């Protein structure tokens, strides 16, 4: 893996909230995260305490956090989250780009973007290391059905040091109407709008972060082991539907990534808003996320939450991203309040008429 594959999540993870309707000032804050059994110096001694009781994290987690801090700043850059419109991809065809389609071989064979190659999610680390020379391309564009699996994948690849990887927003649904009708336009829903709550749910008391237990001794080695494990696991457990969540919201710890006005306008029962301004950039805030429950992350479209979910899973959380985000359960409300609250409902205006080949 490249030395630059890590990003400064400890200080700046909140960068992903600043895109697509999320806004706030980037701030920095230092604190101490004490590894179990250590009262002297730890891997995070350079991070000063700002809470009365230090959160408890394992030594491997501390080493990975330290390594992330020292090796890059992707999340604090304008590139995060790395999304690209279908129109820009179409304009770049024939130029120095590589389109990687991670849909099933069957769907790829039925039609795909000209010049695209089909790869399984699990194959990507080896493909990037041995199959291609990634940095010879101006852009490498990940494509899936709806843009959410490619967002999750792009987040991981960016963290591994591949700084020219992008996810095509809305996936093939934005490419032409055939895919939109079978994808986003078919599945948007306002089914659970009457189930929304207005209650402000507070974050739990910070306790700690998951144990990583890779057996490695350096932050770089721990990161490599974690990425390999995540790709080997595939994506079957990465996504969750609105029907599953609304059937029993108390079963999950639900993270809402929207602005306060959007959160106050109605959210999934029990959802806790992790503020765009600067919440998940602090260890004690990360440590407020339960390690013994499935974590559901959602935003307006499922793109930003895909990027966030990749980060949480890197640190061992059982995190899922909600398919289609708010579009999957309060679509009619989003359309009605689009101007007032800057919602991003998927509509025919997001669909192009670009060519596919077989």
Q: Cα separation of 276 and 306, whole Å?
A: 16
- Which residues, 6 or more positions from 6, have their beta carbon under 8 angstroms from its beta carbon? 67, 68, 70, 71, 72, 159, 161, 219, 223
Q: Are 30 and 54 in contact (CB under 8 A)?
A: no
Q: Are 254 and 296 in contact (CB under 8 A)?
A: yes
What is the residue-level pLDDT of the chain in tens, covering all 358 positions?
544 433 433 334 434 333 333 433 333 333 333 333 333 334 444 444 444 567 888 999 988 888 877 776 565 557 778 999 999 999 999 999 999 999 999 999 999 999 999 999 999 999 999 999 999 999 999 999 999 999 999 999 998 889 999 999 999 999 999 999 999 999 999 999 999 999 999 999 999 999 999 999 999 899 999 999 999 999 999 999 999 999 999 999 999 999 999 999 999 999 999 875 555 556 878 899 999 999 999 999 999 999 989 989 999 999 999 999 999 999 999 999 999 999 999 999 999 999 999 9
pLDDT of 141 reads 98
- Short-list 312, 311, 309, 299, CA closest to 268: 299
Q: Cα separation of 314 and 286, whole Å?
A: 13
What domains can you pick out in the chain, each with its CATH number? 3-77+191-341 (3.40.250.10), 83-187 (3.40.250.10)
- Short-list 263, 275, 323, 262, CA closest to 298: 323
Helix axes 303-314, 148-159, angle to 10 degrees: 40
pLDDT of 77 reads 54
Bridge partners of residue 117, in order along the sequence: 100
DSSP class of residue 227?
H
DSSP class of residue 112?
B
Q: Are 286 and 68 in contact (CB under 8 A)?
A: no
List own/partner pairs for 229-236 with CB under 8 A and 24 or more apart: 230/156, 230/310, 230/313, 230/314, 231/121, 231/122, 231/124, 231/125, 231/156, 232/122, 234/121, 234/122, 235/121, 235/149, 235/152, 235/153
Strand ranges for the chain from DSSP E: 33-34, 55-56, 83-84, 97-101, 117-118, 139-143, 165-168, 239-240, 252-256, 272-273, 294-298, 319-322
DSSP class of residue 219?
H
pTM: 0.85
What is each CA distance from 284 to 115, 242, 288, in whole angstroms? 46, 29, 6
């Amino acid at each position: 893996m490249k030395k630059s594959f890590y990003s400064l999540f400890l200080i700046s993870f909140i960068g992903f909230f600043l895109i697509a309707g999320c806004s706030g000032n980037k701030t920095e804050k230092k604190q101490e995260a004490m590894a179990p059994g250590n009262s002297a110096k730890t891997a995070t001694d350079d991070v000063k305490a700002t809470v009365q009781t230090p959160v408890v994290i394992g030594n491997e987690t501390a080493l990975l956090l330290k390594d992330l801090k020292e090796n890059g700043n992707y999340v604090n850059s304008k590139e995060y989250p790395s999304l690209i419109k279908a129109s820009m991809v179409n304009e770049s065809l024939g130029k120095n780009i590589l389109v990687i389609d991670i849909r099933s071989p069957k769907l790829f064979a039925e039609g795909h973007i000209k010049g695209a190659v089909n790869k399984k999610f699990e194959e990507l680390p080896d493909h990037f290391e041995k199959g291609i020379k990634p940095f010879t391309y101006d852009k490498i564009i990940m494509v899936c059905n709806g843009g959410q699996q490619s967002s999750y994948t792009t987040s991981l690849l960016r963290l591994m040091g591949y700084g020219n990887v992008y996810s095509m927003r809305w996936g093939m649904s934005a490419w032409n109407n055939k895919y939109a009708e079978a994808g986003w336009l078919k599945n948007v829903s306002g089914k659970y709008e009457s189930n929304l709550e207005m209650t402000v749910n507070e974050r739990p008391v910070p306790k700690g972060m998951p144990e990583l237990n890779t057996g490695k001794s350096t932050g770089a080695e721990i990161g490599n082991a974690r990425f390999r494990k995540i790709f080997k696991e595939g994506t079957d457990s990465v996504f969750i539907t609105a029907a599953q969540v609304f059937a029993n919201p108390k079963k999950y710890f639900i993270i809402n990534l929207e602005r306060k006005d959007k959160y106050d306008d109605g959210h999934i029962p029990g959802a806790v808003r992790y503020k765009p301004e600067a919440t998940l950039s602090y260890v004690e805030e990360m440590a407020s996320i339960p390690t013994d429950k499935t974590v559901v992350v959602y935003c307006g479209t499922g793109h930003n939450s895909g990027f966030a979910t990749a980060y949480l899973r890197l640190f061992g959380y059982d995190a899922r991203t909600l398919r289609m985000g708010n579009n999957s359960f309060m679509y009619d409300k989003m359309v009605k309040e689009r101007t007032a609250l800057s919602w991003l409902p998927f509509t025919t205006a997001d669909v192009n008429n670009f060519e596919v080949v077989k």
